[in-house]
Structure 1
Amino acid sequence: MPQPDQPLQEVRMKEPRLFRANEALGQIECRKAGGLATEALDELARNLEGVGGDAVAAWLAQREPTAASVYLATRLVPLGDPGKAAERWEALLSLSPMPDPALLLPAAKSALAAGTADRASVHLRAALALRPPYVFHARAAALVKELWRGCPPASRTARIAILGASTTALLVPVVRALCFRDGVNAEFYEGVYGAYRQEILDPLSGLHRFRPTIAFIAPHWRAVAIPPVSEDEDRAVETIVAEHEALWNALSQASACHVVQHAFDLPAEESHDHVATRPGGRTRIIERVNLEFQRRAPSFVSILDQAAVQREVGRAAWQNERLWFVARQHPAPEALPALAEMQMAHVRAVTGLTKKVVVCDLDNTLWG
């Protein structure tokens, strides 16, 4: 931490908050673990609200540039020139100890404002490669649309339909952002809420007019209305699987598209507790249905293991009961990036963006 010199002593006389901020900033800079402490710096910036920008700029100019001090300058010392603002963000990224989506996103926005869309795209793709949380996607949605218009992804093209048994308005922008990241120039069709069966079976529906190349059928455990305990387990399983087989065939005949069927997730809580996994129990039936999906899926259908995504996120975090009853949102927004990543794995496979790797050991052993 820099020692107080005569200019800082003068600052202390004129603005004690800057002197205290100097000590706090030094402590933040001494932290070695993790990335940039943006939360602590944001709090420091809030404490300095009301201090003149010229005074803050003079104080920071006395310090050796660090990631923390440059970040603080972006918060407190606005620059009227977009080009200079973008340069400051570039300096911050070069000083940051590790890539951080919270820094890459404003850097991308600043680069776009400065007229360098290519640089903005680089920063946005780098941020998306770090698999940021849902709040990032909410903040980046407008930037994704603007960059897509100016420099759309060009590695592959696709027409993607997302047909859900719940609200999909929050999911589609996340998938769109990941398509931008992976170079898939995709057009999207968002199915009518809860009407995926009707849209698939109606030859005049908007889905069939769209003519998708990839169609996601995304139901969830509530969509099949399985009671906690069923008297005829085999019949319940066969009814659900046969219905979805008919939907796969209808989609293939009408659009010749690849179908990605979401396997069913599991309830976060079961009203009948351990009975759910016993014969006739709802959890047992759902697990059997998912196995049958895998066994009976034809070549034009792939199965997305939604239960695996649920385990990755955690069953408690997977669903939000309040949002389900208020907005029919399922899964919870916090779970959408993990689900979208799994969907993108299928998109990459269908569009040929997957890569095969051969690893050769030094003793001429070939690993596949």
Structure 2
Amino acid sequence: MILPAHALHWLPPCPDLDRRLAALKADHGRADGLAEAMALANTRLDFLQTRRLDGIVQKLPEEVWSGRPRLRVTLLGTGTMEHLPPGIRVAALRRGLRVDCAVSGYGQWRQDILDPGSPLAAAKPDVLLLAVDPAELLPELPLSASAEDAAQAVEAVAEEVVGLWRRARERTGAAIIHQAMPLNEPATFGHLERLVPASRGALAAALDAKLVEAAARERVLLLDLRTALAEIGAREVGDLRLWHHAKQAISPAATPWYGEQVGRILAALRGLSKKVLVLDLDNTLWGGVIGDDGLAGIVLGQGSATGEAFVAFQRHVHRLSRRGVVLAVSSKNNLDTAEAVFRDHPEMVLRREDIAAFEANWEDKPSALRRIARDLELGIDSLVFFDDNPAERELVRRTLPEVAVPEVPDAPELYVQTLADAGYFEAVAFTVDDAKRTDQYRANAERKQMAAGSTDMDGFLRDLGMVLEVRRFTPVDLPRITQLINKTNQFNLTTRRYTEPEVQELAADAQVLAYAARLRDRFGDNGIIAIIIGRRIDAGGRPALDLDTWLMSCRVLGRTVEQAMLRVVAEDARVHGIGLLLGTYLPSPKNGMVREHYPRLGFAPDGDEGEATRWRLDLEAADLPTAPHVALDLHLTPQQRPEA
């Protein structure tokens, strides 16, 4: 069996793959080796090509990975899984993430979780992928068992699985991904199967529903292969012959596809999901060319299959926007002509206010994409570029390899499926702030317009009416806090990454002071924009707060928020009998903008540790900077509130 051609259809083929793989293998120490490997990972590879690339990448020198995000992943489960890591590693590489994979012993998943002497804890995984065959979990009941008996048996199994999740998290602190797969057994009753409470199909469906409900409650992630398999076809991914002979639930030929499903979740855990969808207009959001065909001549809406397909694509894009994906436009068009379609065409689903950055001009697309990233204050690697023109796609791939560029099919009826299958916007949490993302970027654009019209910065900051609300970490904010910790790269002093269970442990640690700040102003709520985590230590006989993490959203740069945050932390530290703040700047490929953060705030040098620079601020003698136009709304009780 070979992987079907449509499995990774959004990736472009690589006609000279063999030559490029051979060149990379022959000189695996080359300076651009990782960049070339990532470029090859972003092409359509089959099982053998994936293994070849993975084998070469594993031999790349360690220094090429410097500054790259990394995850340790352990696979636990019931079947044979040794063939899965290459696909997972290559899929992660596709997103700029390094993954180290360990595979538990065959069928040892319960023992590894429960036995304190198992190698699981020693492996120190960041992520546990639990791939358990649902057939092994199902209770054995007589087919005549009542619905009540079946429900009780399923509840008992679900409680056992939840207990194992909790035990695994306690032992490792890892994020847990539970693999949900359909039962790989033929129905005993045919179409009556799920109406017989004690049948295998009915029990599997009931257990699946229980585990989904429990995963939401326990903050366990799902690798939901049920939905994915429905798209690609279960028989394309698994083979009963392979299961019986080798206990391989996933066929070797399907490991690139499986690795892609896992890789997108791992990337999302490290904040590497894409953030912005940049759309072309003509023949992408509607059929035809607006400049030639006019408003009445473009194909959009009811009356034709193609017009309805463009509407369906816009609906899908609009739903992405509502869950937090930022929308932008890059079109070779006159601005007024392009914007008129959003304003005046009755069948348009997307409106101008849904678009956070709008580039309609006659310049090249790479230049437009650079401006979009700059205006949104995001990295160029945050963008996905969706354009029907293959020449434009190829130009962007060559000029801006950090930008994700899916292969767009000729038929607009397939646009939705292509964008959905590519999984660029995979999420591991959904927060209120995510739902407000487009509004926040639009409000930020209004702030920039106001700043451009202000005669002085002091007046601009005063007129903003900023209120900084600072809280301890709360359970309701943990998903958003974890999201920020893992995706903030530029204003991030150490770029340390934590899973949600680890953040929860930090919040509960009596030696840790943790702060989450939300900024409101006259234009709206910016959401949580700053995270500071400090650990109380002894520094030469003096109580000190060592600032493990300090990160902020680039959207609030230049508004004296960092000065206000320092004042809050300093005063709260004093309340706790701490007289010294210690800070670390650990350089990364993207955080050069905060190199002088601590000295700008009055910290003094405190030596170096390798690449890291250390800084200290004596609170007994410090003259703290002020932020006169930032009002404080503090929720640090029962601790004393610092003065604004």
Cα distance in structure 1, aligned partners of 2:188 and 2:68: 48
Quick one: distance in 2 between partners of 1:183 and 1:218? 25
Cα distance change, pair 300–237 in 1 and its aligned pair in 2 (3 A):
same
Matched, 1:192 2:105: yes
Equivalent residue number for residue 275 of structure 2 = 356
The alpha-carbon distance between structure 1 residues 114 and 208, as it changes in their structure 2 partners (threshold 3 A), is: closer
Select which of 270, 277, 294 maps to 2:194: 277
Q: Which residue of the partner structure matches residue 93 of structure 2?
A: 180
Give the corresponding residue for 2:480.
none
1:329 to 210, 225, 248: 248
Q: Is 1:366 matched up with 2:334?
A: no
* 2:70 corresponds to 1:166: no
Kindly provide the amino acid, as one letter, of the partner of residue 166 in structure 1: G
- TM-score by structure 2 length? 0.39
Q: Residue 112 of structure 1 contacts residue 120 of structure 1 at CA under 8 Å; is this kept in 2?
A: no
The separation in 2 between residues aligned to 1:279 and 1:264, in whole angstroms, is 21
Number of aligned residues: 271
Judge conservation of contact 1:237–1:289 (CA < 8 Å) in 2.
Answer: yes
Sort the Cα spacing of 1:274 and 1:229 in 2 relative to 1 into closer, same or farther, 3 A: farther
Distance 1:235 1:174 in 2: 39
Are the aligned partners of 2:89 and 2:263 in contact in 1 as well (CA < 8 Å)? Answer: no
- Find the counterpart in structure 1 of residue 231 from structure 2: 312
> Contact (CA 8 Å) 1:154, 1:185: kept in 2 or not?
no
Residues in 2 aligned to 1:351 and 1:311: alpha-carbon distance in whole angstroms:
27
Amino acid of the structure 2 residue aligned with 1:327? A
Paired with 1:306 and 1:153, the residues of 2 have a C-alpha distance of 33
Report Cα offsets for 1:43-67 as digits up to 9, x if no partner. Answer: xxxxxxxxxxxxxxxxxxxxxxxxx
Partner SS state of residue 345, structure 1: helix
Task: Give runs of aligned pairs for residues 109-188 of structure 1, distance below 5 A.
Answer: 109-114=22-27, 117-147=30-60, 149=62, 151-152=64-65, 154-188=67-101
**Match of 1:233?**
150
SS at match of 2:184: coil
Relative to its length, the structure with more strand (as a share) is 2
2:166 to 236, 246, 249: 249
TM-score, normalised with respect to structure 1: 0.66
Return the letter of the residue paired with 2:257: A
Q: Give the counterpart letter for 2:180 in structure 1.
A: A
If asked which structure has higher relative contact order (CA below 8 Å, sep 6+), I would say 1
Give SS of 2:94's match.
helix
Alpha-carbon displacement from aligned partner over 1:133-168 (angstroms, at most 9, x marks no partner):
223223333212123646237431211111121111
Q: What one-letter code is carried by the residue in structure 2 that aligns with 1:189?
A: A
Query: Which residue identity is paired with 2:103?
Result: E
What residue number does 1:216 align with?
129
RMSD: 2.7
Tell me the alpha carbon deviations over residues 91-147 of structure 1, each in whole angstroms, 9 at most, x when there is no partner.
xxxxxxx95346324313214425673444344323322342223223333212123
Per the alignment, residue 62 of structure 1 pairs with: none
Residue 250 of structure 1: CA displacement?
Answer: 0.2
Distance 1:122 1:215 in 2: 28
- Report the Cα distance in structure 2 between the residues aligned to 1:102 and 1:339, rounded to whole angstroms: 23
Give the secondary-structure state (helix, strand or coil) at the position aligned to 2:59: helix
Of 155, 162, 175, the match for 1:258: 175
- Counterpart amino acid of residue 103 in structure 1: D
**Would the aligned equivalents of 2:74 and 2:127 in 1 still touch at CA under 8 Å?**
yes
What per-residue deviation string (whole Å, max 9, x for no partner) do you get for residues 244-286 of structure 1?
Answer: 1001100111111111111132225324322322232322322
Structure 1 residues 149 and 116: alpha-carbon distance in aligned structure 2, compared to 1, 3 A threshold:
closer
Deviations 1:213-271 (A, max 9, x none): 11111112332255597523212321221111001100111111111111132225324
Paired residues of 2:72 and 2:125 also in contact (CA < 8 A): yes
Q: CA deviation at 1:175?
A: 1.0
The aligned amino acid for 2:264 is A
Between the aligned partners of 1:115 and 1:205, the Cα distance in structure 2 is: 36
Deviation at 1:212, TM superposition (A): 1.1
Q: Which letter does structure 2 place at the counterpart of 1:260?
A: I
Instruction: Indicate if the aligned counterparts of 2:28 and 2:61 stay in contact, CA closer than 8 A.
Output: no
For 1:321 and 1:225, the matched residues in 2 are separated by 19
| 1:288 aligned partner | 206
Per the alignment, in what secondary structure is the counterpart of residue 187 of structure 1?
strand
Percent identical: 23
Tell me if the contact between 2:138 and 2:157 (Cα under 8 Å) persists in the aligned partners: no
Q: Give the match's secondary structure for 1:267.
A: coil
Measured after TM superposition, the shift of residue 192 of structure 1 is 0.9
What amino acid is aligned across from residue 331 of structure 1 in structure 2? Answer: I
Secondary structure of the 2:249 match is coil
**In structure 2, how many angstroms separate the alpha carbons of the residues matched to 1:278 and 1:131?**
42
Structure number with higher helix proportion? 1
SS at match of 2:105: coil
Q: Is the 8 A contact 1:167 1:330 kept in 2?
A: yes
1:314 partner letter: G
Does 320-329 or 252-261 show the bigger shift?
320-329
